[in-house]
Amino acid sequence: MSFQLPTVDVPPQPWTGRFDGDEAAHRRWWQAVDINRTPGPAGVEAAPDGEPATPAARKPAALLGFASDEGVRRNKGRVGAAAAPAALRKALAPLAFHLDRTVADVGDVVVSGGDLEAGQERLGLALAALLDSGHQTVVLGGGHETAYASYLGVSASSAVQSGQRLGVLNLDAHFDLRDEPVASSGTPFLQMACAEGDAGREFRYAVVGISEPNNTRVLFDTAEKLAVRYLLDEDCEADRARDFVASFLADIDVLYLTIDLDVLPAAVAPGVSAPAAYGVPLPVISAVCRQVARSGKLLHLDVAELNPEFDIDGRTAKTAARLVDTLLR
């Protein structure tokens, strides 16, 4: 079975990195990522030990960039996230490749001329096609307006359309539930809540890492109205975070995970629009990612808010790359 990759604005570019040899044992991401081959359908690759692969573990991964900073611009933040997909690929490229699945790079959807909505629609269409052909999809954002673009694809996918209960788990210092006349990086989850309501579905939204001083009373009230589950940054000890995520996962069939890198402490993730004074420690965020990866419910994931202009020695991009690698294990 072959699959026609969806059309994007910028086709995948060659990946480069350190070369230790051609043998599989030397392989790094840049050598493994396919920019030409049509990725295979889910469940057809053999596991290394010869056991039949489980579809959830063996899905071929597809990376899709969303080069956008229009949402951050509209939200009065520090622009620069449009350069993030390239920076994330650069950080992934040298990592040793230990995954037991194929990875294809599909290229980028680019928001141009300030037309965020058109870009979100294009990404949604490409993403839905990738999901319905059995891929483990990864969107490399973009400001957090990436989340609404991801949602358009996820909600159009056959998994959600066939009635599977969708959960949206956001690792973020912010609710991003702003009620504004125009969409931005601060509005995606209220947009989703409205869309899910219009579709007659329950909106299941949980956030890990909320910073109380960085979300107004209005946002907490909106969260309460929408029955949003959240864990404050100061309450994110490993056990509590694990239990919180486990209880959310128990109530859903498929998960869309979105990582806003400002959930991490500013020392770990300085390259974002709104760095966190407190932040959730990386080992806790990493453990949540492992838990999600093991759940078998991960339908789609994205990483948002990287701003390479404010990064220090690529540390935010490297952290993000590490989390993506963990999520694809």
Ligand X SMILES: N=CN[C@@H](CCC(=O)O)C(=O)O
Q: Least Å distance between CB 214 and Mn ion?
A: 8
Nearer of residues 29 and 148 to ligand X, judged by Cβ:
148
Cβ closer to ligand X: 75 or 102? 75
Least distance from ligand X to the Cβ atom of residue 136, Å: 25
Whether residue 300 is annotated as binding a ligand: the answer is no
Compute the distance between CA of residue 105 and CA of residue 87 in angstroms, rounded to an integer: 14
Smaller CB separation from Mn ion, 105 or 145: 145
Torsion of CA 224, 163, 186, 208, to 10 degrees: 60
Shortest approach of ligand X to residue 143 CB, angstroms?
Answer: 6
Q: Is 145 in the site for Mn ion (CB under 5 A)?
A: no
Q: Please tell me whether 22 is known to bind a ligand.
A: no
Consult the annotation and say whether 144 binds a ligand.
yes
Residues in region 198-257 near Mn ion by CB under 5 A: none
Residue 186 contact partner, candidates Mn ion, ligand X, none, CB within 5 to 8 A by sort of partner = ligand X
How far apart CA 303 and CA 239 sit, in angstroms, is: 24
Residue 26 is assigned to a ligand binding site = no
Nearer to ligand X among residue 289 and residue 304 (C-beta) = 304
Kindly tell me which residue out of 59, 174, 297, 300 binds Mn ion, with binding defined by CB under 5 A. Answer: 174
Output 135 or 178, the one with its CB closest to ligand X. 178
| Closest CB 71 distance from ligand X, rounded Å | 7
Binding partner of residue 77 among ligand X, Mn ion, none, CB under 5 to 8 Å per kind? ligand X
Query: Measured from the CB of residue 297, what is the shortest distance to ligand X in angstroms?
Result: 25
- Tell me whether residue 100 is annotated as binding: no
> What is the binding site for ligand X (CB under 6 A)?
75, 77, 144, 174, 176, 178, 185-186, 214, 274
Rounded CA-CA distance 314/296 in Å is 31
Q: Side chain identity at 326, as an amino acid letter?
A: T
Spatial strand order in the sheet of 103-110: 103-110, 61-67, 136-140, 298-304, 254-260, 166-171, 205-210, 229-232
**Residue bearing tokens 């030397």:** 26
- Does 174 carry a binding-site annotation? yes
Chain position whose Cβ is nearest to ligand X: 186
Q: Which stretch binds Mn ion (CB under 5 A): 18-26, 49-57, 156-164, 169-177?
A: 169-177
Q: To the nearest whole angstrom, how small is the minimum distance from the Cβ of residue 274 to ligand X?
A: 4
- Residue set of the binding site: 144, 172, 174, 176, 260, 262
- Residue set of the binding site for Mn(2+): 144, 172, 174, 176, 260, 262
Question: Which residues contact Mn ion by CB under 5 A?
Answer: 144, 172-174, 176, 260, 262
